[in-house]
Amino acid sequence: MNENQMKQKAQYVHSVFESIAEEYDKMNNVISFGSHIAWRNYTMKQMNIRPGQSAIDVACGTCDWTISLAHAVGKEGRVVGLDFSQNMLDVGAYKVAKEGVGQTVQLVNGDAMKLPYEDNTFDYATIGFALRNVPDIQTVLNEMCRVVKPGGKVVSLEVSKPPFLPYRKLFYLYFYKLLPIIAKLVVNKYEEYAWLPQSLTNFPDSKELARMFQQAGLDPVQVKLFMGGVAALHIGTKK
């Protein structure tokens, strides 16, 4: 993807998320049948976060993971939620205040491709169901690796491609064909949710994404597939 194509993708994705911010949480539950919560809870246990640590939640959206991180690091810790959609951050800010973690969380309107932080700043960098939407995956992974401390972890939880081909075809039928229709019925948005499944088309499978983690300077990389591979967890440790 050349620079112009990356810019066009970034602009289009921005418009999509600005548009769906109010319905985003409802549709997340519908899309994953509520499983995304269990996947995130499993991920948090694997991360083994300690009170007082720091994290940046990249492309934080409406801040569900940001809030989980804030509870884990406690009042002595620090969490940054970064997203390029102000509408998503506005929804997130309401939830952060409601959860009582406003002292721990700082929300930043920023670019995942150019994180506005020094090298070796955070203990963790997370990205949940957003890596497939960024203009350049490797650039974002490189940036996430850059801002975590040596020994720190970069964590991605994302929709993936089931390795078992017949199951993959069944999943694609749901994700590409049925999901936009469900979105039209539930939140009256068709085009936006017709595009989101397309974002999976050129997204690497779990093995290729693990290699991209390693290319960013993360080793070892743990991979866990959920529901036969419809979602994948990657945890990479910075050398």
Confidence at residue 199, expressed as pLDDT on a 0 to 100 scale: 84
| Residue 117 contacts residue 148 (beta carbons within 8 Å) | no
Find, among 229, 203, 213, 211, the residue nearest to 132 by Cα: 203
Edge to edge, the sheet with strand 78-83 lists 105-109, 78-83, 54-58, 122-128, 148-159, 231-238, 218-226
**H/E element holding 127?**
strand 122-128
Q: Is the pLDDT assigned to residue 28 strictly greater than 80?
A: no
Q: How confident is the model at residue 24 (pLDDT cuts 50, 70, 90)?
A: confident
Give the pLDDT confidence score for residue 18 in this predicted structure. Answer: 83
Question: 3-state DSSP call for residue 12?
Answer: helix
- Res. 117: pLDDT tops 80: yes
pLDDT digits (tens, 9 = 90+) for 192-230: 677 777 788 889 999 999 999 999 999 999 999 999 999
Task: Judge whether residue 129 has pLDDT over 90.
Answer: yes
| pLDDT tens-digit readout, 151-163 | 999 999 999 999 9
Instruction: Tell me the average pLDDT across 111-136.
Output: 97
pLDDT score, position 6: 85
Confidence of residue 31 (pLDDT cuts 50, 70, 90): confident
Q: Could you give the angle at the alpha carbon of 197 between the alpha carbons of 191 and 203, nearest 5°?
A: 135
**Cα–Cα distance between 209 and 223 in angstroms, integer?**
9
- Split at pLDDT 50, 70, 90, the class of 166 is very high
Q: For residue 140, what pLDDT is reported? A: 98
pTM of the entire predicted model: 0.93
Mean pLDDT score, 160-172: 94
Judged against a pLDDT cut of 80, whether residue 190 lies above it is answered with: no
pLDDT in tens, 39-50: 999 999 999 999
pLDDT of residue 191: 75
pLDDT (tens digit, 9 = 90+) per residue, 69-98? 999 999 999 999 999 999 999 999 999 999
